[in-house]
Amino acid sequence: MIGEVREPDLSQLRAIFNDLRAKSGMSFDDLASASGLTRGTLLNISSGRYNGDLRTWLMLARAWGVSLDEVLAPVWGSERDSPVKRRSR
């Protein structure tokens, strides 16, 4: 039996981005340098004007040193492996 197909809650992306950036201690300039994304792109994600694409989130995950699954877990309503609640490594 196939389970219910859930849609990702993309409204969580802004909060995910802001929480991880704050926890990393990185400024927008630091994160732009580490990720290869422009400061403008980062500001747009932070404000919710832009959600980014797969490449954007892959670059961010790499810059923060976490997996894409960990970064995006909250969009599925999953607290497990949420980057906001994960244990320090």
As for how many domains the chain has, the answer is 1
In this predicted structure, what is the pLDDT of residue 2? 67
> How far, CA to CA in Å, does 9 sit from each of 35, 48, 73?
24, 13, 10
Would residue 64 count as lying in a domain? yes
CA angle 48, 13, 53 (to 5 degrees): 90
Would residue 85 count as lying in a domain? no
Q: Write down the pTM of the prediction.
A: 0.81
CATH number at residue 23: 1.10.260.40
Per-residue pLDDT reduced to its tens digit, 15-74: 999 999 999 999 999 999 999 999 999 999 999 999 999 999 999 999 999 999 999 999
